[in-house]
Chains A and B, each alone.
Chain A
Amino acid sequence: MERPAWAPRSIDISVPSVSRIYDFYLGGSHNFEVDREAARKAMEFMPGLPKIMQANRALMRRAVRFAADEGISQFLDIGSGIPTFGNVHEVAQTVRPGARVVYVDHDPVAVAHSQAVLDGNTDADVVAADLLKPQDILSSPQVERLIDLNRPVALLLVAILHFVEDADDPYGAVAELSDALAPGSLLVLTHASYEGIPLPAERAGGAVDVYKDIRNPLIMRSREEIARFFEGYDMVEPGLVPMPRWRPETAPEDEDPYAFSGFAGVGRTA
Chain B
Amino acid sequence: MSAEPDGPEDRLRRFATIWSRAVFPVTSTSSTRPEFEEQLLPLARRLSEALRARAFDQEEARAVGAALVGAHCTDPEALSRTLDCVDAYLVLYCGQGGDPEHLRARSARLQHAMAAGFAQALRERTLAEQEAIAQAALKAQGVVAQALHASEARFRAVFEGAAIGIGIADLDGNILQVNGALTRMFGMSDQQLRGRNAMEWTHPDDAPQTWRLYEELVRGEREHYHVEKAFYRPDGTVLWTNLTVSLLRDADGTPRYQLALMEDTTERRLLNLRLRYEATHDALTGLPNRSFFFERLEKALAAGPGQRFGLCYLDLDGFKTVNDSLGHAAGDRLLVEVADRLQACATAPGEMVARLGGDEFVALTTGPDTAHQVDELAGRIMNALLAPISIDGRELTVRGSIGIVEGPAGERSPAEVLRSADITMYRAKSAGGNRFELADPEADARVITRHGLTTALPAALERGEFFIEYQPLVRLGDGTVRGAEALVRWLHPQHGVLGPDRFIPLAEHTGLIVPLGRWVLEQSVRQAREWRERHGGPDAAGPLRINVNLSPCQLNHPGLVQDTVDILERTGVAPDALCLEVTESALIGADDDLLKPLRRLADMGVDIALDDFGTGYSNLANLRRLPVSVLKLDRSFTQSMQRFPADPVDLKIVEGIVALAHSLDLAVTVEGVETGAQAEQLRILGCDTAQGWYYARPGPPERLHQLALVDATG
Contacts and interface: CB of A to CB of B under 8 A. Distances in A.
A53 B30 CA distance: 9
Interface stretch (B108-116, B150-158, B442-450): B150-158
Interface string B132-168: 1101110111011101100100110010000000000
Nearest to B74: A27
B155 A58 contact: no
Nearest to B69: A27
A249 interface: yes
Q: Which of B34, B126, B144 has the most CB of A within 10 A?
A: B144
B254 to A, nearest CB: 16
B29 interface: yes
Contact size class for B? Answer: 35 or more
A223 interface: no
A160 B127 CA distance: 28
Interface in B111-130: 125-127, 129-130
Contacts of A28: 28, 74, 129
A116 B148 CA distance: 22
Interface in A52-68: 53-54, 57-58, 60-61
Interface residues of A, number: 41
B144 A29 contact: no
Nearest to B141: A11
B32 to A, nearest CB: 5
A173 interface: no
Interface string A5-20: 0011111010000001
A30 interface: yes
A109 B155 contact: no
Nearest to A128: B143
Given A1-B151, A4-B147, A8-B144, A13 B137 contact: yes
A250 B29 CA distance: 14
Nearest to A54: B28
B25 A30 contact: no
Contacts, number: 103
B136 A109 contact: yes
A54 B27 CA distance: 9
A31 B133 contact: yes
Contacts of A57: 28, 30
B644 to A, nearest CB: 117
A29 B125 contact: yes
B643 interface: no
A262 B3 CA distance: 41
Question: Interface on chain A toward B: helix, strand, loop, or mixed SS?
Answer: loop
Contacts of B147: 3-4, 7
A2 B34 contact: no
Interface in B208-258: 251
A41 interface: no
B451 to A, nearest CB: 71
B133 A82 contact: yes
A232 interface: no
Nearest to A10: B144
Interface in A89-118: 108-113, 115-116
Given A1-B155, A13-B137, A27 B72 contact: yes
23 contacts: A1-B151, A1-B155, A1-B158, A9-B144, A13-B137, A27-B28, A27-B74, A27-B75, A29-B133, A30-B130, A30-B132, A54-B29, A57-B28, A85-B30, A86-B31, A109-B136, A109-B137, A109-B140, A110-B136, A112-B135, A112-B136, A113-B133, A250-B32
Interface of B: 25, 27-34, 72, 74-75, 125-127, 129-130, 132-133, 135-137, 139-141, 143-145, 147-148, 151, 154-155, 158, 251
Interface of A: 1-4, 7-11, 13, 20, 25-32, 50, 53-54, 57-58, 60-61, 82, 85-86, 108-113, 115-116, 249-250, 254, 256
Given A9-B148, A30-B133, 12 more contacts: A3-B147, A3-B151, A9-B251, A20-B133, A29-B74, A57-B30, A61-B31, A85-B72, A108-B144, A110-B136, A113-B136, A250-B34
Q: Considering the complex of A and B, which 10 residue pairs feature the smallest CB-CB distances, nearest first? A: A113-B136, A108-B140, A57-B30, A29-B129, A27-B28, A86-B30, A112-B136, A27-B74, A112-B139, A30-B133
